Amino acid sequence: MDKPEIIKLDYQNLGFSYIKLKYNYISYYRNGQWDEGVLRGEDTVTIAATSTCLHYGQEAFEGMKAFRRQDGGIQLFRPDENAKRLQRSCKRLLMPEIPIDKFINAVKLVVKANQEYVPPYESKASLYIRPYILGIGDNMGVRPAKEYLFGIICTPVGAYFKGGLAPVNFNVTEYDRAAPNGTGDIKVGGNYAASLHSHEVAKEKGFADCIYLDPLTHTKIDEAGAANFFAITRDNRLITPYSKSILPSITRMSIMQIARDYLGMVAEHQDVYIDKLDEYTEAGACGTAAVISPIGGIEYQGKMHVFHSLTEVGPITRKLYDLLTGIQYGDVVAPEGWIYLV
């Protein structure tokens, strides 16, 4: 691949907002099949006002990243897992699945087309990639659409939670983002619409985001609004909740394997009871956007529980962060199949 100049942006202070790039990708599903798809410059879509995505939330999306290696190359982190998860979301909402090859080739195409915007290695920023699928076309009754639009946009991003590796605080919300047997385990817009209010309340109170408890008993931590939850026990085990109402995070799956294979730790799914947080010495949020964000404290029923420290990242969280980002930026040898060069 040619390596064009990297476009100069303030990569140190990017945060997580949208900068329009040169190209995005769009493909249509009509008459029972996907078309080839094209790259285009315009980043708007024109769809029928009666589209199922607008009225009935028939849409799904993914979040993934491309990273600039020290040698200038560009790599994707586990895009096959995003492709598979999008297929699960599509299946659940009766949308046509996007073949894994089509998904990965389209992601590579968009990243290549915008390669000068993949942030420099030194910045520790990355290119965030947002594949999405929408039910489109004329429709009035509650039923699946006949036509679909699959698109991919991308934009350079920095830290999702302000502070990067500096701990952030969360509060426990009284609301649920998903039902026990609902759509919490797939990546669909409705889950995020349901989370906007509690996120806003958390922000107003000075928290980075909120923690959702399991929607059945409200006694166990489910996840955060935009990331999964993990904690470290006193005997150095990595614990992360298993729940049918949370998004199965690719980052979570990865740090569990990193903890086992690189750090020799035990990593397991276990319930995290909200009134037993003193069993844990460290805690964090993990996700594509969140990467690994240490949690300083969690507020529950007016009391703040502090894990390792409100200001310092804990030693195991730091090790996990260094290994995960080392793999993502190409400095640490990845387990087989995790890295796709663009």
Which of positions 172-201 make contact with ligand PLP (CB under 6 A)? none
The token pair that represents 147 in the structure block: 């036509």
Q: Which stretch binds ligand PLP (CB under 6 A): 67-75, 143-151, 226-234, 332-340?
A: 226-234
CA distance 40 to 242: 40
Of these residues, 20, 187, 203, 319, which one is catalytic?
A: 187
Q: Which of 183, 240, 288, 328 binds ligand COI (CB under 6 A)?
A: 288
Q: What does 171 bind: ligand COI, ligand PLP, none (CB cut-off 5 to 8 Å by kind)?
A: none
Which of positions 27-66 make contact with ligand COI (CB under 6 A)? 63
Q: What does 247 bind: ligand PLP, ligand COI, none (CB cut-off 5 to 8 Å by kind)?
A: ligand PLP
**Residue 303 known to be catalytic:** no
CA distance 239 to 267: 6
Closest CA to 251 of 288, 202, 197, 298: 288
| Per-residue binder mask for ligand PLP (CB under 6 A), 267-296, x = binder | --------------------xx--------
Closer residue to ligand PLP (CB): 63 or 296: 63
Query: Per CB under 6 A, does 115 bind ligand COI?
Result: no
CA distance 43 to 41: 6
Minimum Å gap between C-beta 165 and ligand COI is: 17
What dihedral do alpha carbons 312, 318, 322, 323 form, nearest 10°? -170
Q: Which stretch binds ligand COI (CB under 6 A): 144-152, 174-182, 198-206, 287-295?
A: 287-295
Query: Per CB under 6 A, does 251 bind ligand PLP?
Result: yes
Q: Kindly report the CA angle at 143 between 137 and 148, in degrees rounded to 5?
A: 35
Q: Which of 149, 154, 231, 247 binds ligand PLP (CB under 6 A)?
A: 247
Q: Which of 214, 223, 282, 299 binds ligand PLP (CB under 6 A)?
A: 223
Q: What does 58 bind: ligand PLP, ligand COI, none (CB cut-off 5 to 8 Å by kind)?
A: none
Distance (Å) of CA 119 to CA 106, 200, 256: 20, 30, 27
Minimum Å gap between C-beta 33 and ligand PLP is: 28
Q: Which stretch binds ligand PLP (CB under 6 A): 88-96, 125-133, 225-233, 268-276?
A: 225-233
Are 325 and 318 spatial neighbours (Cβ–Cβ below 8 Å)? no
Query: Per CB under 6 A, does 63 bind ligand PLP?
Result: yes
The token pair that represents 56 in the structure block: 């009935």
Enter the DSSP assignment of 151.
E
Q: Which helix (H) or strand (E) holds 133?
A: strand 126-136
How many Cβ atoms from other residues are within 10 Å of residue 237's Cβ?
16
173 burial via Cβ count (<10 Å: 0-12, 13-18, 19+): buried
Q: What does 238 bind: ligand PLP, ligand COI, none (CB cut-off 5 to 8 Å by kind)?
A: none
CA distance 58 to 52: 5
Q: Which of 131, 135, 156, 287 binds ligand COI (CB under 6 A)?
A: 287
Three-state secondary structure call for residue 39:
strand
Query: Which residues of the shown chain bind ligand COI in the complex (CB under 6 A)?
Result: 63, 226, 287-289
* Active site residues per annotation: 187
